[in-house]
Amino acid sequence: MFRITSSCSFRFREKASVFLTELHPAGDPESRAAVLAQLRKRDFDANHHCSAWRQGVPVAGQGCDDDGEPSGTAGGPMLRVLEGEQLTDVLAVCIRWFGGTKLGTGGLVRAYTEGVQGAVAEARAGGLLQEVRILRIGRISVPAELAHLPYAALGAFPEAEIAGQDFTEQGVVVTFRMPPGREAQLEALWQERSRGGRIHWE
């Protein structure tokens, strides 16, 4: 997944209509509302301010708004681009100044899709995309004399990162992080090596 580190924009013309698409870092409803209000005030003469957004790692919410364009021709296509590019904590706003020539349903879908694709390309070219790694946190508790066992098991998974080791009255707690997807394999290996031990996940 990716976040953008700074705002960027992409402008183009389609059959006399001008489209200006902007991407803004925005990880919560308040940020999105503030950006939209600012753009509506700045470009008050535009006919539409269509938008799409995604939030959270992993994504916990997303949405879109056609802002007066025919249903499904603006916000939805914009959101699909954000999904395809795996962007999150972002607000995409496509501002349209109508030029007098109707684009039709297919033309609108293509235009709003092109707008967000162009803005993402600008962000990528400008080095504004930051990769966000999704990691699960796990903890393994063992008696002190078996402190080596978690490290041996985790060593079989190169993507696992040791985050810390804490000593308790019961023994040792090893905390680690790893990308999701192989939890079941690690749990099976740990149960085998620890004779029934469990991994506690966050």
Query: Per the structure block, which two tokens stand in for 51?
Result: 């938008």
Which pLDDT belongs to residue 181? 87
Q: In this structure, are 65 and 85 located in the same domain?
A: yes
From 75, 96, 131, the end of a domain falls on 131
Which pLDDT belongs to residue 58? 81
Long-range contacts of 143-150 (CB under 8 A, 24+ apart): 143/170, 143/171, 143/172, 144/171, 144/172, 146/171, 146/172, 146/194, 147/171, 147/172, 147/174, 149/193, 149/194, 150/174, 150/176, 150/190
pLDDT over 90 at 174, yes or no: yes
Q: In this structure, are 17 and 111 located in the same domain?
A: yes
Q: In this structure, are 58 and 37 located in the same domain?
A: yes
Q: In this structure, are 127 and 147 located in the same domain?
A: no
Q: Is 8 within 8 Å of 91 (Cβ atoms)?
A: no
pLDDT 10s digits, 102-152 = 999 999 999 999 999 999 999 999 999 999 988 889 999 999 999 999 999
Which pLDDT belongs to residue 91? 98
Q: In this structure, are 115 and 37 located in the same domain?
A: yes
Tell me how far apart the alpha carbons of residues 41 and 18 are, in angstroms, rounded to a whole number: 18
Q: In this structure, are 115 and 162 located in the same domain?
A: no
CATH number at residue 19: 3.30.230.30
Q: In this structure, are 180 and 100 located in the same domain?
A: no
Which pLDDT belongs to residue 115? 97
Query: Per the structure block, which two tokens stand in for 145?
Result: 């004399």
* Domain that includes residue 127, residue range: 2-131
pLDDT 10s digits, 10-45 = 999 999 999 999 999 999 999 999 999 999 999 999
> Into how many domains does the chain fold?
2
Q: In this structure, are 98 and 182 located in the same domain?
A: no
Which pLDDT belongs to residue 179? 87
Nearest to 132 by CA among 29, 35, 27, 202: 27
CATH number at residue 155: 3.30.70.240
Q: What is the average per-residue pLDDT within 51-72?
A: 94
Q: In this structure, are 106 and 172 located in the same domain?
A: no
Read off the pTM: 0.74
pLDDT band for position 202 (cuts 50, 70, 90):
confident
pLDDT 10s digits, 64-97 = 999 999 999 999 999 999 999 999 999 999 999 9
